[in-house]
């Protein structure tokens, strides 16, 4: 698996397959690049760059100082080093928070579009904000991570699917739980703490790229009101609901997700890249 080395010495691993318009795939908390395996069919006409975010998969680092901002800086360095142009960013859950930082930062011009998968711009509810998660739930998740991370990871892997998990998805749900449980508990706890502190509502109006706001109708985390808020806050966005999915439509309804992404890519202006001799 190739990697880049960022300034603090951490190796950021990624997959790079296919050719055409780049699609940068950013996974959720506790996942890794392998959670995009069902999108591999898109590599026949798109360039898929799936990243192991710092603290996940093969991008482990030292497990200290892990914040959403640091993870976004890592991805920005990767995008710059690969010299991606006209890219589509696909951010699932935690990956969406990272993508919003990229689209409002220095490498925003490298992105032509965005796909947000089941995420809120502010995880922690309070002060009139109700489109995230309650403080009690956020604290309970942190406590569960710290007390028995393996059990928490196993349960969380199954919970990303619409409940009850369909028979044909039980094997995949078990795999997801096992993969979640393999992470370093300290790293995941640090990233979760940072994610809960994020408030990206103010940056949304500055994101000009066409955006698809994707949600699963049976998500246990965020409801339709959250998606509606994103569509209203982003200058150029529309919502797409996956009727048979929970928190992970790309895993639960992969063919529909792939068709949506392929059609979205085709709707964007062509990518013109400089040819070298």
Mean pLDDT score, 123-130: 97
Using alpha carbons, select from 3, 69, 71 the residue that is nearest to residue 31.
Answer: 71
pLDDT tops 70 at residue 273: no
SS3 of the chain: helix, strand, coil, percent, to 5: 45, 20, 35
**Looking at the predicted structure, is the pLDDT value of residue 33 above 70?**
yes
Instruction: State how far the alpha carbon of 4 is from the alpha carbons of 13, 35, 45, 92, 214, in Å.
Output: 7, 20, 25, 22, 30
Q: Is the CB of residue 131 less than 8 Å from the CB of residue 119?
A: no
Residue 128 has pLDDT above 70, yes or no: yes
Sheet containing 87-92, strands listed edge to edge, beginning at the edge strand earlier in sequence: 3-5, 11-17, 46-51, 21-26, 87-92, 111-117, 211-216, 237-242
* Mean pLDDT of all residues belonging to the chain: 95
pLDDT at 60: 78
Pairing of strands 46-51, 11-17: antiparallel
Q: For 72-81, write each residue's pLDDT tens digit.
A: 999 999 999 9
pLDDT at 57: 95
pLDDT digits 0-9 by tens, 199-244: 999 999 999 999 999 999 999 999 999 999 999 999 999 999 999 9
Question: Quick one: average pLDDT of 154-180?
Answer: 97
For the whole prediction, is pTM greater than 0.85? yes
Query: For residue 117, is the peptide bond before it cis, meaning its omega torsion is within 30 degrees of 0?
Result: no
3-state secondary structure of 93: coil
- List domains and CATH numbers for the chain: 3-121+203-267 (3.40.50.1820)
């Amino acid at each position: 698996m190739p990697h880049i080395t960022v300034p603090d010495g951490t190796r950021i691993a990624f997959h790079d397959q296919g050719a055409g318009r780049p699609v940068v795939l950013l996974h959720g908390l506790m996942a890794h690049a392998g959670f995009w395996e069902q999108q591999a069919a898109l590599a026949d006409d798109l360039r898929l760059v799936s990243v192991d975010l710092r603290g996940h998969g093969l991008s482990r680092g030292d497990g200290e100082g892990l914040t959403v901002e640091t993870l976004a800086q890592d991805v920005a360095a990767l995008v710059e080093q690969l010299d991606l142009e006209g890219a589509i960013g696909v951010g699932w859950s935690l990956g969406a928070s990272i993508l919003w930082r990229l689209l409002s930062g220095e490498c925003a011009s490298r992105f032509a579009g965005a796909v947000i998968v089941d995420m809120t711009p502010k995880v922690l509810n309070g002060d009139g904000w109700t489109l995230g998660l309650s403080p009690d739930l956020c604290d309970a998740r942190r406590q569960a991570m710290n007390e028995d991370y393996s059990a928490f990871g196993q349960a969380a892997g199954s919970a990303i699917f619409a409940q009850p998990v369909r028979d044909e998805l039980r094997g995949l749900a078990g795999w997801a739980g096992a993969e979640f449980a393999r992470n370093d508990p300290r790293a995941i706890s640090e990233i979760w703490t940072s994610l809960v502190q994020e408030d990206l509502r103010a940056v949304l109006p500055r994101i000009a790229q066409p955006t698809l706001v994707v949600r699963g109708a049976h998500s246990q985390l965020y409801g339709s009101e959250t998606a509606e808020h994103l569509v209203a806050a982003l200058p150029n966005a529309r919502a797409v609901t996956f009727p048979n999915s929970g928190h992970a439509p790309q895993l639960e309804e992969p063919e529909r997700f792939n068709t949506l992404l392929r059609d979205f890519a085709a709707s964007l202006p062509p990518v013109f890249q400089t040819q070298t001799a």
